[in-house]
Structures are given as C-alpha cells and as structure tokens.
C-alpha cells in the first residue's frame, strides 16, 4: 500500500515563501508522475503542479512563475517551492502519485495571511 506524507505547510505572510515536501513509501510499481493539488474552502480541488518520471513539468496558470515542482526519484520525494505567496493560495495542499493507481496524501494546510 502506497503512503504519501506531506510536510512543510503553515502560516505565511503575503509575499512569503514555503516549501512543501512529500515522501512516498510502500511503492512496488513504476511511477508515472507525482504532483500537488490544492483545495480551498468552497472550491473544487485543482491541479497545482505535476512532474513526470522523465522530468516534464506542468503548472496551473495561477502559479506559473511563482511555484516550482521538483522530484527525487531515488528518494521517492517530491517538493513544491512556493514563492510570492498570495492570500488566494490559501488551501489544503495534497501530494499525489500516479502509478497504475492514483494515490493521494492526507494534505497539509497552507495559509497566506497578514
């Protein structure tokens, strides 16, 4: 059973930075991609960023130029560096892992507020 554990969330002021980390364990299959989704109160869950096993990245338009996703396949880790944070980035952020199944972490809260 694949388990994903996120860390690094918290409270930050507008314009600040946070780095989210996600550790994957229990995987026995080839990985296609890992990523980050987020869900704000009253809104649908949305893709924030995704990185394939080959290193191809995809970002939501709202975070392009501010967020950077990176991965370490050897360590089964994925990271999300978030800069120039805005109040509208406030959400629960979920790590995902794509194999033959799609796995979700339990989420970490990011709050951007002064």
pLDDT in tens, 48-71: 999 999 999 999 999 999 999 999
Q: 41: pLDDT confidence band, cut at 50, 70 and 90?
A: very high
Buried b (16+ CB within 10 A) or exposed e, 77-102: ebbbebeebeeebbbbbbbbbeeeee
Strand order in the sheet with 18-25: 3-7, 18-25, 77-82, 67-72
Residue 100, pLDDT above cutoff 90: no
């Amino acid at each position: 059973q694949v388990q994903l554990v996120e860390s690094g969330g918290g409270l930050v002021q507008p314009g600040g930075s946070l780095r989210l980390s996600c550790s994957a364990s229990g995987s026995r299959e080839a990985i296609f991609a890992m990523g980050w989704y987020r869900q704000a109160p009253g809104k649908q869950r949305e893709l924030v960023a995704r990185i394939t096993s080959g290193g191809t990245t995809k970002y939501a338009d709202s975070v392009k130029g501010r967020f950077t996703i990176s991965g370490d396949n050897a360590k089964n880790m994925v990271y999300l560096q978030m800069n120039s944070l805005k109040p509208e980035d406030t959400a629960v952020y979920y790590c995902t892992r794509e194999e033959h199944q799609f796995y979700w972490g339990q989420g970490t809260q990011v709050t951007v507020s002064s």
